[in-house]
Homo-oligomer: A and B are copies of this chain.
Amino acid sequence: MNNHSVGIVQRQTFTFAEKEPMRLDSGEMLGPVTLAYETYGRLNAERSNAILICHALSGDSHVAGYYSAEDQSPGWWDECVGPGKAFDTERYFVICSNVIGGCQGSTGPGTINPQTGDPYGLRFPVITIGDMVRAQRHLIDHLGIERLLAVAGGSMGGMQVLQWAASYPERVRAALPIATTARHSPMLIAFGEVGRQAVYADPNWQGGDYYAGPRPAAGLAVARMVGHITYLSEQSMHHKFGRRLQARQRFGYDFGADFAVEGYLRHKGSRFTERFDANSYLYVTKAMDYFDLANGNGSLAAAFSQSKGIAYLVVSFTSDWLYPPYHSKELVSALTAAGADVTYCNLESTWGHDAFLLEVETMTGLVSNFLERVEKTVR
């Protein structure tokens, strides 16, 4: 832990929809709903300095800090959230909650269904990014925040940012969608489906009812390995691994891990299964695949028709082939057509999609200055 950390933090929970269930985009009802969340910094007296950070597919509410003095690894965006960082916790009150459908404290397929006493499994309703954001809005109400200074996030976090702006424009002063898209492309859907098929193919999956037995770890690991390839770029893979061998002087002529990149994927895949629930992987990827803000709104610009009061900072990365810059450019056109205040930065980076987690130095200046400008218009 260093001086720029938010220090020791605690996961909190908020439960709602206990009497009256929440209606989902599918028409299904869900309740009670619990959200796990964390906060950093202090809400000011005017309640005007709150920033909601939304996490990506494999993230959770633990965006920064440590759970104990012995904790070795900080939250997933610790380099961007803390005193003097991009999201400066000396200045802002930062909130992050685990999405519904997830597996880190929020209601999801692994939660016990109070009506049956068993885990939901595949009886959990299919959710959307809209549903995730609807649940977050309950949390923001609960925290007594009328208008968020900003909503920010990368990848699936960025989809939630856009959904906030589209669904609750009056509740958002600024939006920072990073390395993301307003509609999942067929290639993204294809990768989503392959990950799900890898889970289905694991006989331990048992149609989703595996909570009393062994987990479908092998299938989930394969899904995660595919994911990890897509988060990198050809160039970053050359840089990180090249054709370097792993703990071998020469080819093994067997099916062990010859190459460093193979060892990396095996390690990443297996570590993921220790912390993530396979059913949540299905639900969260499905929510991403359904995401298309133009759908139901006629056009993307129509989705943002109430965006005149929102300032946008759209960020993409040149080597991100999963959410390529042209997705952000289409978004910028739609926002501009909707009369929004839009700043767009297509940052040079060789890190592929992972850049949104790694290009900290560049992002810090961009984000903190953008937030400062927005803040001035609020006060």
Could you list which residues of chain A lie within 8 angstroms of chain B, going by C-beta atoms?
A: 26-28, 122, 125-126, 183-187, 189-191, 193-194, 196-198, 200-203, 218-219, 221-222, 225-226, 228-229, 232, 234, 237-238, 240-243, 251, 253-255, 257-259, 261-262, 265-266, 269, 282, 286, 289-290, 292, 295, 321, 324
**A251 to B225 Cα, complex, angstroms:** 28
Interface centre among A187, A202, A241 (most CB of B within 10 A): A187
In the assembled complex, 10 residue pairs joining A and B whose CB atoms fall closer than 8 Å, in A order, are A26-B251, A122-B255, A126-B255, A186-B242, A186-B243, A189-B261, A190-B225, A198-B222, A200-B255, A203-B203
Chain B residues near A226: list those with CB within 8 A: 194, 226
CB distance from A60 to the nearest CB of B (A): 23
Residue ID in chain B nearest A244 by CB atoms: B186
- Contact (A186, B261) CB under 8 Å given A193-B225, A225-B197: yes
Q: Are the C-beta atoms of A201 and B186 separated by less than 8 Å?
A: no
Task: Check if A198 sits within 8 Å of B196, measured CB to CB.
Answer: no
- Residues of B within 8 Å of A243, CB to CB, are 183-186, 189, 292, 295
Contact check, A201 vs B189: say whether CB atoms are below 8 A apart.
Answer: no
User: Are B194 and A229 touching (Cβ within 8 A)?
Assistant: yes
User: Is B221 in contact with A197, judged by CB distance below 8 angstroms?
Assistant: yes
Minimum Cβ distance to chain B for residue A283 (Å): 9
**B26–A253 touching, CB < 8 Å:** yes
CA distance A216 to B235 in the complex (A): 34
How many Å lie between the Cα of A293 and that of B261 in the bound state?
19
